[in-house]
């Protein structure tokens, strides 16, 4: 069976990595670590183009939610010519085995608030025939390699790979989470951007990966846990993992 080639395989373009986070705390340190950094403002966002540990990179904050993330991913590809995209950020846990401080890498992503039933099955992105949008296996595996090396030095944190759900809601309600989990077995984490980036990358033929550090349990304590976590842990994790990823890539 013939497999579809990605854009950069077809054009033979050298790698240019797009790195998206929703919030400044999720990406802190990376911009400062960039060499030859140049800032470009477009569509109310700041895109920083430069070298991260020898990898040609464009880093940007998307802001929160699916539309914001889709707009940012599209711009990275169409205007800044990125060939690969990584999303790094935090998420709520959707599984008892996934704890605050653990890391989840998406195997696939679903827009958990997409529901055009009965015209299309619940969760299907209409007219694509897909509900679970797969991430790029090669990129995700390299990211997982970097994450597990990083986590070896973090006491007790575990790396998980599986389904991430995205929707335009901050989930802080155990009942709502349980309902989602029963409709989407295998759901490991909930957030607000990943599956939108997945749809854009799927449609534009761009390999992508999504990595999320768990900041809260998507229950009634989520807002308080989230606020404490993003300030203290999120950027340290993102920085440590992306550094290892880029160094391995450039080696």
- Residue 44 near residue 84, CB atoms below 8 Å: no
Part of the chain binding ligand SAH (CB under 6 A), chosen from 73-81, 112-120, 180-188, 189-197: 189-197
How big is the site for ligand SAH, counted in residues (CB under 6 A)? 19
Q: Is 92 a residue that touches ligand SAH (CB under 6 A)? A: yes
Lookup: tokens for 63: 């802001």
SS3 of 52, please?
Answer: strand
Which candidate in 26, 102, 136, 225 is catalytic?
26
Residue-by-residue DSSP string for 144-201: HHHHHHHHTTSTT--EEEEEEEE-SS----HHHHHHHHHHSTTEEEEESSHHHHHHHH
Is the C-alpha dihedral spanning 217, 190, 211, 81 positive or negative?
A: negative
CB count within 10 Å of CB 114 equals 19
Minimum Å distance from CB 126 to ligand SAH?
23
Tell which positions 213-242 bind ligand SAH, by CB under 6 A.
215-216, 218, 222, 226
Distance between CA atoms of 31 and 58, rounded to whole angstroms? 9
Tell which positions 103-132 bind ligand SAH, by CB under 6 A.
none
- Residue 156 near residue 100, CB atoms below 8 Å: no
Tell which positions 37-56 bind ligand SAH, by CB under 6 A.
none
Strands 84-93 and 103-111: unpaired
Lookup: tokens for 48: 């920083």
Which candidate in 95, 124, 193, 216 is catalytic?
216
Q: For residues 55 and 180, which CB has a smaller minimum distance to ligand SAH in the complex? A: 180
Catalytic, 216? Answer: yes
Strands 103-111 and 133-134: antiparallel
Catalytic, 173? Answer: no
Q: Is 68 a residue that touches ligand SAH (CB under 6 A)? A: no
Q: Is 211 a residue that touches ligand SAH (CB under 6 A)? A: no
- Which of 91, 110, 184, 241 forms a contact with ligand SAH (CB under 6 A)? 91
Minimum Å distance from CB 230 to ligand SAH?
7
Q: Is 191 a residue that touches ligand SAH (CB under 6 A)? A: yes
Q: Is 22 a residue that touches ligand SAH (CB under 6 A)? A: yes
- Which of 31, 55, 147, 190 forms a contact with ligand SAH (CB under 6 A)? 190
Nearest to 132 by CA among 160, 153, 175, 163: 163
Those residues whose C-beta lies under 8 Å from the C-beta of residue 10, and which sit 6 or more positions away, are 205
Q: For residues 45 and 247, which CB has a smaller minimum distance to ligand SAH in the complex? A: 45
- The end-to-end CA distance of the chain, in Å, is 32
Part of the chain binding ligand SAH (CB under 6 A), chosen from 41-49, 108-116, 191-199, 241-249: 191-199
SS3 of 121, please?
Answer: coil
Active site residues: 26, 216
- Interaction site with ligand SAH (CB under 6 A): 22-23, 64, 89-92, 170-172, 190-193, 215-216, 218, 222, 226
């Amino acid at each position: 069976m013939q497999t579809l080639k990605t854009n950069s395989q077809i054009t033979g373009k050298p790698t240019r990595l797009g790195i998206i986070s929703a919030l400044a705390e999720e990406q802190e340190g990376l911009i400062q670590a960039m060499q030859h950094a140049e800032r470009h403002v477009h569509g109310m966002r700041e895109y920083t183009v430069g070298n991260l540990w020898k990898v040609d990179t464009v880093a940007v904050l998307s802001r929160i939610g699916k539309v914001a993330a889709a707009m940012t991913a599209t711009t990275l590809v169409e205007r800044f010519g990125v060939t690969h995209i990584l999303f790094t950020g935090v998420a709520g846990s959707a599984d008892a085995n996934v704890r605050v401080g653990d890391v989840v890498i998406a195997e696939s992503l679903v827009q958990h608030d997409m529901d055009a039933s009965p015209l299309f099955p619940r969760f299907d992105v209409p007219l694509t025939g897909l509900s679970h949008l797969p991430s790029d296996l090669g990129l995700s595996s390299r990211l997982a390699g970097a994450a597990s090396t990083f986590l070896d030095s973090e006491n007790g944190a575990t790396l998980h790979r599986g389904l991430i759900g995205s929707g335009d809601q901050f989930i802080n309600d155990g009942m709502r989470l349980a309902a989602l989990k029963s409709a989407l077995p295998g759901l490991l984490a909930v957030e607000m951007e990943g599956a939108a980036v997945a749809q854009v990358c799927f449609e534009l033929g761009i390999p992508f990966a999504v990595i999320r550090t768990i900041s809260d349990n998507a229950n009634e304590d989520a807002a308080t846990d989230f606020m404490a976590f993003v300030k203290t842990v999120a950027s340290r994790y993102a920085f440590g993992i992306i550094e290892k990823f880029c160094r391995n890539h450039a080696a």
